[in-house]
Structure 1
Amino acid sequence: MAVLGALPSDLRCRPICEADWEGVVDCLCRGFPERDRSYWIQALTRLSQRPAVAEFQRYGFALEKADRIVGVVLTLYSRYRGQDGDEIRCNLSSWSVDAEFRPYAAMLVAKVLRRRDVTYTNISPAPATLKANWALGFRPFSTGQFAFLPALNSAPRSCRGLEVRPDLAEMAMLSDSERYILSEHAALGCLSLICICDGEAFPFVLMPRRTLRGLIPCFQIAYCRSLTDLAQCAGALGRFLLRRGILLCVVDAKEPIAGLYGWYRPNRGLKYFKGPRPPSLGDLTFTELVLFGP
């Protein structure tokens, strides 16, 4: 990766617009040959349907030479409302630059990383980009994954898991922002659940995945308030998932998780952030995983 400098006069970095979709998809197909065009068209379509966040770019940035797109980085911006005020996150995704222009690849990402009040994430870094990630100031917020069998956890019969639907009365037990997260992710094909334990409601979003070379169906935890909540509700989650024939779940972690039966896999699913506040473990909301698919 070259040291950042000025772009050549015939090469420019600019925001992506809808008129660029064909060139963007061509570039992404060259960079990620394992993905077909329909995957990237769906990705851009879903980005177009997301609400705009302030003045931030809807799609991302492109490197262009002679009216041909030779590099792309997609940006997935989301606004989070918390007790300490609003927070903006940007998931950088699908960073791809044609081989002859890779000395300028870091400049493409640096174009995005200008706001110190935004938390940037990279949840699927290619091994070849790890050094560039560190050079750009990214640091890991998850260093492994924990695979667990929630059905092995016991839970009182009063604890139960409920699938989210518009008329579910228990939705009123959650905050506005959590109701929004559950509803939006259910529409994206995730399994959104509320666990009721000891009269308290706990929200969860689970993303369907397959593991062991695609042979075993499982769920990745895409949202929970905390890993402590996950352990507390694991038994209720396990009973719910068992009725669907699912035994295995996976969650991002830095170490084994107390209260869950499973195994920690270090250096799996590394995830990086740059900015004022790292996402909590178990929070992959509105990232490429759920918007674009695994």
Structure 2
Amino acid sequence: MVDCLCRGFPERNRSYWTQALIRLSQRPAVDEFQRYGFALEKADRIVGVVLTLYTRYQGQEGDEIRCNLSSWSVDAEFRPYGAMLVATVLKRRDVTYTNISPAPATLKANRALGFRLFSNGQFAFLPALNSVQRSRRVLEVRPDLAEMAMLPDSERYILLEHAALGCLSLICICDGAAFPLVLMPRRILRGLVPCYQIIYCRSLADLSRCAGAMGRFLLRSGILLCLVDAKEPIAGLVGWYRPNKGLKYFKGPKPPSLGDLTFTELVVFGP
């Protein structure tokens, strides 16, 4: 499987894919769903792969299962079977499937399989330029942090799990209420500019509310810039909208919220 992935994504080295599969093996299984994904085999040789990252979410309307499809790769001579490989995964109508990093060559196939856009751009912003009230503060998450009790179990789980995966998990206290935030360190513009990608916020409105306090916190580590998925400029944030950047697709009953990339390949495998 690693050999096939290396052929399909030559810009990634072997250790990247080995680490990706190790991390998949360490994720909790979700019901009867596949832990790794599906492979296309020909004469005892793997010639196609699609990885599947399943996660169960607890919501007010009941549990929701999402599957992030990742690393869809089929050797050139077997490309006609590529859509069939993914179609094998897409059989469950109660699952929301996502593709957050589609290769340009697969966009037509994505649309043919019923995927629709849930984000068609990114918003780059400078949170430290937002004003901040004295009553607002940001805390880095740890298991014994008293303010963790202000959040539901599902969000405490998200914060702790993503901290273990190398993200920066924060709680913003605003007017006596707690707002969870997960940020992932990245480097953009050919690795020259450090920034944070928003991996989780309850809503873009909540992100705007917490931006000033978050920005002051990030200044301690010298980070000025953040990125978040968006469909348009975000009210209350100082920055610029970049259309047609970071296109993200979904298929199923409920699209993920903008600003929610939890337990996707970006986090589990790395950028």
Q: Same fold (TM over 0.5)?
A: yes
Q: Equivalents in 2 of 1:252, 1:84: separation in Å?
A: 24
Match of 1:278 in 2: 255
Q: Equivalents in 1 of 2:235, 2:220: separation in Å?
A: 25
Q: Equivalents in 2 of 1:268, 1:213: separation in Å?
A: 15
2:125 to 136, 145, 148: 148
The answer to whether residue 29 in structure 2 is matched with residue 52 in structure 1 is yes
Listed as ranges, the matches of 1:1-294 within 5 Å are 24-294=1-271
Q: Equivalents in 1 of 2:259, 2:239: separation in Å?
A: 16
In structure 2, the gaps of 5 or more residues are none
Structure whose CA Rg is larger: 1
CA positional deviation for 1:158 = 1.7
Q: Equivalents in 2 of 1:176, 1:231: separation in Å?
A: 24
TM-score normalised per structure 1:
0.92
Q: CA RMSD in A?
A: 0.4
Q: Equivalents in 2 of 1:241, 1:51: separation in Å?
A: 31
SS of residue in 2 equivalent to 1:156: coil
CA positional deviation for 1:250 = 0.2
In structure 1, the gaps of 5 or more residues are 1-23
Match for 2:194: what amino acid? Answer: P
Q: Equivalents in 1 of 2:206, 2:50: separation in Å?
A: 34
Match for 1:257: what amino acid? Answer: I
SS of residue in 2 equivalent to 1:93: strand
Q: Equivalents in 2 of 1:78, 1:33: separation in Å?
A: 28
CA positional deviation for 1:85 = 0.1
CA positional deviation for 1:212 = 1.5
SS of residue in 1 equivalent to 2:170: strand
> What does the per-residue CA deviation read over 1:99-118, in whole Å, with 9 as the maximum and x for residues that have no partner?
00001000000000000000
> What does the per-residue CA deviation read over 1:258-287, in whole Å, with 9 as the maximum and x for residues that have no partner?
000000000000000000000000000000
Q: Equivalents in 1 of 2:134, 2:167: separation in Å?
A: 25
SS of residue in 2 equivalent to 1:260: coil
Q: Equivalents in 2 of 1:107, 1:211: separation in Å?
A: 34
Q: Equivalents in 2 of 1:167, 1:273: separation in Å?
A: 36
> What does the per-residue CA deviation read over 1:181-226, in whole Å, with 9 as the maximum and x for residues that have no partner?
0000000000000000101000000011111221010000000000
CA positional deviation for 1:161 = 0.7
Q: Quick check: 177-186 or 151-160, which moved more?
A: 151-160
> What does the per-residue CA deviation read over 1:155-184, in whole Å, with 9 as the maximum and x for residues that have no partner?
112211100011100000000000000000
Runs of 4+ in 1 over 2 A off after TM superposition: none
> What does the per-residue CA deviation read over 1:126-183, in whole Å, with 9 as the maximum and x for residues that have no partner?
0000000000000000000000000000111221110001110000000000000000
